[in-house]
Structure 1
């Protein structure tokens, strides 16, 4: 990754995050603001940058991986919501949510790889 790539990632990703934040703050409905706060700015920029540099096939791999991360985001948001309701500790809820995001995303990738390996092993004939 060169300096130009970093600059464009910063420019596009940062702009998307700032736009999402400003939109969330300007809207009078908190729930809509929360939806914009969860805007997938990083994913959009990552897919765009990889697509420009390496093509659509590699961009599709990034998009596929983002599905697992976004499912993890849903679990993170639910974890933070319920943790805040029970503990009223925003810092601990935040940390617990990040852990749930990372662990659930990795678990989904592991399950995908496990399922793929299992499918491959059932297709190959046994030469024994």
Structure 2
């Protein structure tokens, strides 16, 4: 039992380090680049998906990692819908808080709808 808990803690720590490092690197890159469009591209680096695929690959092999990667397509399409919603709402309301909340709700809703089709 202790060995299982130790493995779970080690996995979570590894995910935290890899995912967190990717997010920080993406943020720093986005802030340092003079071209805002390129900075925005780096700001959307799919760190969580990459780390999830890596962890599944290490634990269960390439076939399971491929299934995980294919499943991430729903979230990525949801991400596009989130960004489009956020941009539209931000332009019309000039309220970034409402825009972010609405964008995230649209991401979750559209991703779940796509996954259940």
Q: TM-score, normalization: structure 2?
A: 0.92
The CA deviation at 1:61 is: 1.4
Instruction: Name the structure 2 match of 1:28.
Output: 34
Structure 1: segments with no counterpart, 5+ residues: 112-128
Tell me the TM-score normalized by structure 1: 0.85
> Partner of 2:3 in structure 1?
none
- Which digits, 9 at most, give the CA deviation of each residue in 1:97-121, with x for residues without a partner? 000000000111111xxxxxxxxxx
What residue is the counterpart of 1:98 in the other structure? 104
Tell me how many residue pairs correspond in the alignment: 111
Q: Establish whether residue 56 from structure 1 lines up as the match of residue 99 from structure 2.
A: no
Which ranges in structure 2 are unaligned for 5 or more consecutive residues?
1-6
SS at match of 1:2: helix
Of structures 1 and 2, the larger Rg is shown by 1
What does residue 72 of structure 2 align with? 66
Aligned-residue Cα RMSD (Å) equals 0.8
Runs of 4 or more consecutive aligned structure 1 residues displaced over 2 Å after TM superposition: none
